[in-house]
Amino acid sequence: MSATLSDAALDTLFRTARSYNRWQAKSVSDETVGALYDLLKYGPTSANCSPARFVFVKSQEAKARLMEHVIVGNRVKVEQAPLIVIIAWDRQFYDKIPQLFPHNPDARNWFAHDAEVAQSTAFRNATLQGAYLMLAARALGLDCGPMSGFDQAGLDADFFPDGQWVSNFICALGHGSEEELYPRSPRLAFDEACRIL
């Protein structure tokens, strides 16, 4: 059995981690982006299908394009953040299954011939991978600001014009500023959110 993480590590990943609205003027290196992916890729997905695709928006030109698609309330967050990730999913993720699930390459057919199963599998597992991205970012000393307030159709037409990738959500990464960092909102108690059967 794996050892329990230290309280300091649990604080970093969960207890004191926050969703930031404003950002310090500190860049995120390409090496850190690579290290981030090298951690998140190990998060489990169904049949190791790994349907998430990540677009790291860093240049001013790419950020200006992205700004066209986010709601007004998110524009400062996008503008200030040194890095925004578009977490997307690949409609044809199953084509990688022979590479990713080599002990059963025929698992590709579980999804390739059923569009509804493929879509629900891709969306569910890419969402998981987006959460792994945030945990990996926090583990590497970065802060996160996930967002869903954007024009999905417009963003997809701009960034994924061939239609194969579909956006899920976006996440700002960097070093958060306490400006407009509100007190932590309440969470549901165990008895409100959980059952043990």
CATH code (residue 162): 3.40.109.10
130 and 89 Cβ atoms separated by less than 8 Å: no
pLDDT computed for residue 31 by the predictor: 98
27 confidence band (pLDDT: 50, 70, 90): very high
Residue 23, classified by CB atoms within 10 Å of its CB into exposed (0-12), middle (13-18) or buried (19+), is: buried
**Assigned domain for 74 exists:** yes
**Assigned domain for 141 exists:** yes
Tell me how crowded residue 136 is: count the other CB atoms within 10 A of its CB: 21
The candidate with the shortest Cα–Cα distance to 22, out of 72, 80, 69, is 80
SS3 6: coil
> Domains in the chain: how many in total?
1
**Assigned domain for 16 exists:** no
**Assigned domain for 190 exists:** no
Tokens of 152: 């999905």
84-121 residue pLDDT tens: 999 999 999 999 999 999 999 899 999 999 999 999 99
